[in-house]
Chain A
Amino acid sequence: MLINSYALGASAGAFNGGDIIFTIFTFALLLLLVKKLAWGPLMGVMKQREEYVASEIEEAEKSRKEAITYLDEQRELLKEARSEAQLLIENAKKQADVQRQEITKVAHEESERMKESAKLEIEQQKEHAVAAIREQVASLSVLIASKVIEKELSSEDQEKLINEYIQEAGEGR
Chain B
Amino acid sequence: MNHEAPMYEFMGLWFNLSNVLMITVASIIVLIIAVVCTRNLSMKPTGKQNFIEWVMDFVRNIINSSMDWKTGGRFHVLGVTLIMFIFVSNMLGLPFAVVVGHELWWKSPTADPAVTLTLAAMVVGLSHYYGVKLKGVGGYGKDFFKPKAFMFPLKIVEEFSNTLTLGLRLYGNIYAGEILLSLLAGSLAFSTWWGTLMAIPLTVVWQGFSVFIGSIQAFIFTLLAMVYISHKVNHDH
Which residues of A are at the interface with B, using a C-beta cutoff of 8 A?
1-2, 4-6, 8, 10-12, 14-24, 26-27, 29-31, 33-35, 37-39, 41-46, 48-49, 52
Q: Which residues of B33-78 are within 8 A (CB) of A?
A: 34-35, 37-38, 41-43, 49, 52-53, 56, 76-78
Assess whether A16 is in contact with B16, with CB atoms less than 8 Å apart: yes
B124 in the interface (beta carbon within 8 A): no
Give the CA-CA distance A44 to B41 in the complex, in Å.
Answer: 10
State in angstroms the CA–CA spacing of A168 and B130 once bound together.
159
Chain B, Cβ-Cβ closest to A44: B41
Give Cα A22–Cα B49 distance, bound, in whole angstroms: 31
Say yes or no: A30-B81 contact (C-beta < 8 A), given A5-B3, A37-B31, A38-B34.
yes
Q: Contact check, A8 vs B113: say whether CB atoms are below 8 A apart.
A: yes
Name the prevailing secondary structure of the A interface residues: helix
Number of A-B pairs whose CB atoms are under 8 Å? 131
Chain A residues within 8 Å of B179, by CB: 6
**In the bound complex, CA of A27 to CA of B2 (Å):** 30
Evaluate contact between A42 and B53: CB separation under 8 angstroms: yes
A/B interface sample: 24 pairs, CB < 8 A: A2-B1, A11-B5, A11-B7, A14-B7, A14-B9, A14-B14, A16-B19, A17-B13, A19-B16, A19-B114, A19-B115, A23-B119, A31-B77, A34-B77, A34-B80, A35-B77, A35-B81, A37-B35, A38-B34, A42-B53, A45-B42, A45-B43, A46-B56, A49-B43
Asked if A29 and B27 sit within 8 Å, CB to CB, the answer is yes
Residues of B at the A interface (CB closer than 8 Å) are 1-5, 7-10, 13-16, 19-20, 23-24, 27, 30-31, 34-35, 37-38, 41-43, 49, 52-53, 56, 76-78, 80-81, 84-85, 109, 112-115, 118-119, 122, 175, 179
* Complex: chain A residue closest to B113, CB-CB: A8
Docked CA distance A145–B14 (Å): 187
Known: A5-B1, A26-B23. A11 touches B37 (CB 8 A): no
Looking at the complex, which one of A4, A19, A52 makes contact with B118 (CB distance below 8 Å)? A19
CB <8 Å contact, B1 and A34: no
Which A-chain residue is minimally distant from B35 (CB atoms)? A37
Determine how close the nearest CB of chain B comes to the CB of A12; give it in whole angstroms: 6
A55 to B150, CA, bound (A): 53
Most buried by A among B10, B16, B84: B16
B23 pairs with A39, CB closer than 8 A: no
Give the docked Cα–Cα distance between A108 and B15 (Å): 131
Q: Is the CB of A18 within 8 A of B78?
A: no
A16-B15 in contact (CB<8A): yes
Contact: A12 with B4, CB < 8 Å? yes
CB nearest to A31 among chain B residues: B81
